[in-house]
Chains A and B, each alone.
Chain A
Amino acid sequence: MPKANINLTETMKKLRAITAWFDAEKEIDVEKGLEKVKEGAELIKASRERLKELENEFEEVKKKLGEDA
């Protein structure tokens, strides 16, 4: 099973915030920038884990309909 518990939407938002931070800062504190990069790397790693090719599951539920007395 994948690490499905990561919230991709949230993660993407955070990543977007990081790039926005870089874009907005006029003079970047190199240390702080490095921290952001590290944080971004973590987020990217988790997201890629979830975004990689993953087999779909298929389940027919008709039976359940019939059995559900």
Chain B
Amino acid sequence: MANLRQTLYAWRDAEAAKLGVELFRVLPNNALDEIVKALPRTKDELTAIKGIKEAKYREFGKVILAMVDEHAGASHQLSDTSRQSTRSDLKAVSPRSDLVLPDLVPLASEETTFSVSAYLDIVNRELYRIRARVVGEVTSIKFQGSAVYIGLKDAEDESALSVFMWEREYATAGIEVAAGMAVAVEGRSDVYKPTGRLSFRAETIELVGEGALKKAYDALKKKLDEEGVFAPEKKRPLSEYPERIGLITSKTGAVIHDFLNNLGKFGFKVRFTDARVEGAAAVKEILAAIKYFSEEEIDALVIIRGGGSLESLQAFNNERVVRAIAEFPRPTIVAIGHDKDVPLAQLVADHAPSTPTAATVLLNRSWDEGVHTMRYFIKDISALYQGELWANKERLGTLNDVVRAAFAEITMRFSVASREFSEALLLLGRWFTKRGEMLRREAGDLVGNFHRALLDAGREVGESSRLLQLHNPLRQLRLGYSILSKGGKVVRSAKDLPAGTHFEARLSDGTIEAQTITHPRSDQKYKVEP
């Protein structure tokens, strides 16, 4: 069974190469495996296999059935000597009959003879097993329709090899091959039956030697630069908080681990396609992956690869790859480790971090910033509000102070007034006290004076009474004196007592009535009548 499997795969690969499409576009691996398992012999059986619908059947059905038939037939042919029928069948069913010849046929006896065609079929089938990478110097290059013919010669001994290539695949390589260049081609040889010439069917072609590569690199860089493919204004910013990532790299490299390990845990959804990242074949796989992602909903496309020489990085200096990145509908991040010459894929990318780890930094950035900003918001908003509250509090405080100050002023005035009042009161009190004292003192003086005056008066009275005593007329009377009076009036002159005048004479022990007898003279004597 392994035989049929090998046959089918070889046919599929060749068919895809011929049509210039991805392998799965012809038939996916699992469909081929299914055919090997089910060995369909009819259309119904074949179309029952997943992946093979009516359209596929129309395109490849007969060929596939023929291959299966052939395989089944070959098992019988071990005992069947009829080669003719086999050959004619082959011719009828497939132009690539070389691929479906059973393994054991040519290994039969040496006496077996072949027709030219059958022989070449056998040769071609055997040649198909030898896939190789061949390096040589270009002697000629010719374009003819959809084919490219390249003459290669050995660098040492002039050995020559004719190389055939589909123009489409040549274009994919993205290089301008000219005579004298050293190139490496990868593919298989076969003999072109109509001419019997051997030619190498190259699937990929690439430049060899740093010098040539550098030249090609510089030329392409210049050309794309002039077209404005690398223009800074074309660079698109990475969307904030990218989530869906399309990742293209090699599954086997270390960089994929670096990338995944350094990608922050922010719920990224990484969709990954494994692609070779070295050698000419890488171009096709990278292109297929870019094309795939260009139709997917992603936030950013990431293409990463570890460091390498110009030669190993050819795929990233490939014109078609560069253009595919330039035309990618969403932001691109390309991180390719490199020595001196920045891979053109990086120049064209929107973001070209130096390492795959740096690519994760780019993707993490807005998330990290988000986390940071959020902390800032949490602190800031409450702080701002608190600040406002503080400010309000302060304003209230200020207002309070103003009111307090106003009151304080009033109180102060009041207290001044009250102090002044109490001072005045005090003064008044003191004045009263003083006045009181003065009064008391004055009163005392007054009493003293009065007392003294009284004493003086007493003394004077005593004196006076003594004087009075002294001068009392009654006392004189006792001494013999008498007082004469007439009509109650003291008689002081004799003239007042003419003769015959009645008068009174007071003596110390009584009064007598008297009458003047003679007319008084100066020494007249008074007759006194008792």
CB-CB contacts of A11-47 with B at 8 A, as 1s and 0s? 0100100110011000010100110110011001001
Does B154 sit at the interface, judged by CB under 8 A? no
Q: With the chains together, A50 CA to B527 CA distance in Å?
A: 169
Q: Using known A-B contacts A9-B240, A67-B30, determine if residue A54 contacts B266 with beta carbons closer than 8 Å.
A: yes
CA–CA, A32 to B475, complex, Å?
127
Nearest CB on A from B391, distance (A): 8
Q: Is the interface of A mostly helix, strand, loop or mixed?
A: helix
Q: Which of B32-55 contact A (CB under 8 A)?
A: 51-53
**Assembled-state Cα–Cα distance A4/B382 (Å):** 26
List, in ascending order, chain B residues with CB within 8 A of A30's CB: 388-389, 392
The answer on a CB contact under 8 Å between A56 and B388 is no
| Cα distance, A9 to B389, chains bound together (Å) | 30
User: What is the CB-to-nearest-CB distance from A53 to chain B, in angstroms, rounded to a whole number?
Assistant: 5
A56 touches B292 (CB 8 A): no
Interface flag for B454 (CB, 8 Å): no
For chain A, the bracket of interface size reads: 35 or more
Given contacts A9-B240, A44-B374, contact A54 B265 (CB under 8 A): yes
Q: Distance in Å from the Cβ of B251 to the closest Cβ of chain A?
A: 8
Report whether B272 and A60 are in contact in the complex, using a CB–CB cutoff of 8 Å: yes
* Bound-state Cα–Cα, A34 to B371, Å: 24
What is the interface size of chain B, counting residues whose CB is below 8 A from a CB of the partner? Answer: 49
Q: Contact mask B492-527 → A, CB, 8 Å, 1/0?
A: 000000000000000000000000000000000000
Is the pair A58, B270 in contact by a Cβ cutoff of 8 Å?
A: yes
Report the Cα distance A44→B391, complex, angstroms: 25
Stretch at the interface among B21-29, B66-74, B169-177: B21-29
In angstroms, Cα B268 to Cα A18, docked, is 29
Give Cα A53 to B388, complex, Å: 34
Residue with the greatest number of chain B CB neighbours at <10 A, chosen from A4, A23, A65: A65
Query: Which residue from B51, B272, B370 sits with its C-beta under 8 Å from A51?
Result: B370
Q: Is the CB of B292 within 8 A of A61?
A: yes
Complexed CA–CA distance, A15 and B370 (Å):
12
B385 near A33 with CB under 8 A, answer yes
Q: Are B240 and A8 in contact (CB under 8 A)?
A: yes
What residue of chain A has the Cβ atom nearest to residue B239's Cβ?
Answer: A9
Alpha-carbon distance A61/B269, docked complex (angstroms):
12
CB distance from A26 to the nearest CB of B (A): 10
- What's the least CB distance linking A36 to chain B, in Å? 8
Question: Which of A's residues lie within 8 Å of B, judged by CB?
Answer: 2, 4, 8-9, 12, 15, 18-19, 22-23, 28, 30, 33-34, 36-37, 40-41, 44, 47-48, 50-51, 53-62, 65-69
Interface residues of B (CB under 8 A from A): 22-25, 27-31, 51-53, 56, 240-241, 243, 251, 260, 263, 265-274, 288-289, 292, 367, 370-371, 373-374, 377-378, 380-382, 384-385, 387-389, 391-392
19 example contacts (A-B, Cβ-Cβ < 8 A) are as follows A4-B267, A8-B240, A8-B241, A8-B370, A15-B373, A23-B384, A30-B389, A44-B374, A44-B378, A47-B374, A48-B374, A53-B266, A54-B265, A54-B266, A58-B270, A59-B269, A61-B272, A65-B289, A67-B51
Instruction: For the A-B complex with A37-B385, A53-B266, A69-B27 known, give 14 more contacts whose Cβ atoms are closer than 8 Å.
Output: A19-B380, A37-B381, A37-B382, A40-B381, A51-B370, A51-B374, A53-B265, A59-B272, A60-B273, A65-B273, A67-B28, A68-B24, A68-B28, A69-B56
